[in-house]
Amino acid sequence: MEKAGRLNRFIFTLIVMFASWLMLTVTLRKDELVVGFVVSFLVALVGSDYLSEHGLAHFSPKRIIYLILYIPYYLWQILLANFDVAYRVLSPSMPIKPGIVKVKTNLKTDSGKLSLANSITMTPGTITIDAKDDTLLVHWIYVKDASVEGATREIGAPFEKFLKEIFG
């Protein structure tokens, strides 16, 4: 995919920054909206060349639908992982089997790989400690399968099926 024009990248960055502002502030007060737009405008003005390569090409109905589906799925995975970690902490025998495993990814874009690494890290019980090419190094609180295929299936694949559609 070819690099988008400057205006295209600016508009994309402005939209993403303002949408992020709205999600973080969770308010529709006029003063908040004005400040959010001004800050988003300035960030887009200064950083759109660094924050986006493809601009509005990222906006497709399919990607937006997968992003909307990913958010509750991701939150559900966080909830499940919280209960799992709480069980391990509160259990008298502390059933942990920590280890570092390799997780392979089929994601091709840096944005997709970054989102996968962050999704893994934000899920309690796992933390991405390194990323190189198509491999993530992950610390896992309870290693169920130390093989690359097993760790990929358990840790990365559930997120990757969505992220592949969102980031290509």
pLDDT tens-digit readout, 19-66: 889 888 888 899 999 999 999 999 999 988 777 766 666 677 888 899
pLDDT at 57 (0 to 100): 66
pTM value? 0.75
With beta carbons less than 8 A apart as the criterion, state whether 160 and 105 touch: yes
pLDDT at 62 (0 to 100): 87
With beta carbons less than 8 A apart as the criterion, state whether 57 and 168 touch: no
CA atoms within a 13 Å half-sphere pointing along the CA-CB vector of 121:
12
pLDDT at 3 (0 to 100): 64
pLDDT at 100 (0 to 100): 97
Q: Could you say which residues of the chain have pLDDT below 70?
A: 1-4, 53-58
